[in-house]
Amino acid sequence: MSKASGVRFLPWVGPRYSIGVKQGVRVLVLGESHYTRLKVDDSPELTRYVVQEHGVGDDRRAYFTQVAALLLGRRPISNDEKAKIWNSIAFYNFIQERVGPSARYRPTPEMWAHARRGLATVLAQCNPHLVIVTGLSLWSHLPEATPISTRYLKNGRTLGSRGFLANDGRRRVPAVGIRHPRGRGFDFDGAARLVRSALAAVRRERS
């Protein structure tokens, strides 16, 4: 991708992405940003390196294990199951700059604004059937063209939201936003129901 595309860190696209998950649904998981001191920090391959290590590899980092478990709809899951899911989806971090060495560092307003062009590029390239947005703060910063249709609550706390993202102006891509899988207040069962419902809706629309 060219610099003009707005994409600095290339998305992970699993070797089975075209086959998809859950009866052929192509899923793009959207993360917020990179927090790392890795030697490949400035490489366009950073996102791909991280997913290969922690999603496909045997590392049990909570975020990557939880995302795979959400798509399977259950936990615990094995390393083989985790790898199969990550090999079947795409992943992209919205913020295209390294924010800092840990999650306590937050993106600046400029980082949020600059990230929008890159997301449009990746949506057009990957052409997903469904986008899973991991983080309600991230969801709230998505482009204004994103109509947020529904909020899901449990005991007065927002579990997630559903809406659409604009795919280069030609069509709307269904999206579901959930609490960050490592964040305070994350409810696995509630998030899994939202993801399962979104996947089912996509399958009905495509059948």
Average pLDDT in the chain: 86
Contact criterion met (CB below 8 Å) for 27 and 90 = yes
111-132 residue pLDDT tens: 998 898 899 899 999 999 999 9
Q: What is the pLDDT along the chain (207 residues), one digit of tens a residue?
A: 655 689 999 999 999 999 999 889 999 999 998 876 655 567 899 999 999 999 999 988 999 999 999 999 999 999 999 999 999 999 999 999 877 665 667 888 999 988 988 998 999 999 999 999 999 889 888 875 454 555 555 555 566 777 877 665 567 889 999 999 998 889 999 999 999 999 999 999 888
Give the pLDDT confidence score for residue 157 in this predicted structure.
59
Nearest of 86, 89, 68 to residue 77 by alpha carbon = 68
Fold of 3-206: Uracil-DNA Glycosylase, subunit E (3.40.470)
Tokens found for residue 59: 């590392």
- Determine the Cα angle at 28 with ends 24 and 30, to 5°: 160
Q: How far apart are CA 113 and CA 133, in angstroms?
A: 17
Q: What is the pLDDT of residues 160-171, one digit of tens each?
A: 777 877 665 567
Domain ranges in the chain are: 3-206
pLDDT, position 103: 63
Global pTM exceeds 0.95: no
Q: What is the structure's pLDDT at 181? A: 93
Question: Half-sphere exposure of residue 155, counting CA atoms within 13 Å on the CB side?
Answer: 4
For residue 181 the two structure tokens come to: 């899988």
Tell me how long the chain is.
207
Helix (H) or strand (E) holding 84: helix 79-86
